[in-house]
């Protein structure tokens, strides 16, 4: 009797099949003949499709990734992060998955940033060009960084006040034009065009209004720092720290991304780029002992952990 695995609609035991392949009892051709094309998992555990399928597989797919058919979250975050400064990584990612050029990532509380938005506020014309060549969608901030004065002027004339709109992390439109001038990788002609955009935006008088951030003493900063807990799980914590530039930072869980906090009141802070969210501290004398996150209604109450414990 032919003991080779079945083909097409024949049924088989997936575990036994895998064991047979790993033990060398069936050939690669026999293996590929029964594995449905494009539904195998690679060693990394991600879904592999079409030409992405390797010559051998570690296991048959039994369930789809949680975000499928959305793009893998780790790749979305990677492309947006790399688009700030790492053109080689951006090229690697968009060459393999061109749609990542349009990716957008929420750094926290609704501080959304596209890959092109990251390149734009960093003044990286080269990365912006690469992303747009793969389908990224330019907007007003990109145009300002690229030095397209006529287009920026047309935006402002068509939508008076648009110059006050803030970009990712609360970065102003005018600062996008300034960023292009600071990048040594940009040509002299590009920097000159960006300077012309900057001069136009400065003439408007309100294209560079920074978000509020009240001054704090070192003692005041220290009064808010510490680990606050809102549950018993390992990720149910909020760490309030101090950025190297002196701003408070907020990180949710051990693997979270620290977000800069702007001081908007005595004990009231907002994440950079998100005016609508407030982190309000309750005080016990000169030390904060509780924080409440409002978005805009209260969503989390966390208490300062005693001596780093629960």
Beta sheet of 59-60, edge-to-edge order: 47-48, 40-41, 59-60
Q: What is the pLDDT of residue 159?
A: 97
What mean pLDDT is predicted for residues 222-251?
94
Whole-angstrom distance, CA of residue 135 vs CA of residue 129: 10
Give tens-digit pLDDT for 140-188: 999 999 999 999 999 999 999 999 999 999 999 999 999 999 999 999 9
Helices (H), the chain: 14-22, 28-34, 73-82, 87-96, 115-121, 125-133, 140-146, 149-158, 173-182, 188-204, 218-222
- Contact predicate 291/217, CB 8 Å: no
The per-residue pLDDT for range 267-279, each reduced to its tens digit, is 999 999 999 999 9
Segments making up each domain of the chain, as ranges: 1-70, 73-204, 218-308
Report pLDDT for 7.
Answer: 39
User: d(Cα 259, Cα 255) in Å, to the nearest integer?
Assistant: 12
CA distance 5 to 33: 9
| Of 89, 217, 80, 178, residue with least CA distance to 136 | 80
For domain 218-308, the CATH architecture is Beta Barrel (2.40)
> pTM for the whole thing?
0.76
Residue 68 has a pLDDT of 82
Look-up of token digits 């969608």: 137
| Mean predicted confidence (pLDDT) in 26-51 | 47
Residue 195: how many CB atoms within 10 A of its CB?
16
CB 271 within 8 A of CB 261: yes
Q: For 73-204, CATH number?
A: 1.25.40
């Amino acid at each position: 009797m032919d003991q080779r695995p079945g083909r097409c609609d024949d049924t088989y035991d997936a575990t036994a099949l895998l064991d047979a392949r790993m033990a060398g009892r069936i050939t690669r051709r026999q293996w590929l003949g029964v594995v449905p094309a494009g539904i195998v998992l690679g060693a990394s555990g991600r879904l592999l499709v079409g030409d992405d399928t390797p010559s051998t597989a570690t296991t048959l797919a039994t369930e789809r990734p949680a975000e499928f058919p959305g793009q893998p979250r780790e790749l979305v975050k990677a492309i947006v992060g790399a688009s700030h400064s790492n053109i080689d990584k951006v090229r690697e990612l968009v060459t393999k998955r061109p749609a990542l050029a349009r990716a957008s990532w929420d750094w926290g509380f609704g501080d959304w940033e596209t890959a092109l938005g990251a390149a734009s506020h960093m003044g990286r014309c080269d990365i912006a060009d690469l992303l747009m060549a793969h389908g990224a969608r330019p907007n007003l901030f990109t145009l300002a960084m690229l030095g397209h004065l006529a287009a920026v002027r047309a935006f402002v004339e068509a939508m008076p006040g648009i110059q006050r709109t803030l970009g990712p992390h609360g970065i102003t439109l005018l600062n996008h034009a300034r960023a292009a001038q600071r990048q040594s990788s940009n040509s002299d002609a590009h920097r000159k065009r960006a300077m012309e955009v900057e001069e136009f935006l400065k003439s408007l008088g309100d294209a560079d209004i920074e978000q509020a951030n009240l001054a704090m003493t070192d003692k005041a900063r220290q009064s808010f720092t510490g680990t606050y807990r809102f549950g018993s799980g390992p990720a149910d914590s909020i760490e309030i720290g101090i950025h190297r530039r002196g701003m408070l930072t907020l990180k949710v869980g051990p693997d979270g991304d620290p977000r800069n906090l702007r001081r908007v009141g005595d004990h009231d802070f907002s994440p950079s780029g998100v005016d609508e969210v407030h982190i309000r501290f309750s005080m016990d004398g000169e030390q904060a002992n509780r924080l409440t996150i409002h978005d805009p209604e209260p969503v989390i109450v966390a208490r300062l952990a005693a001596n780093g414990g629960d």
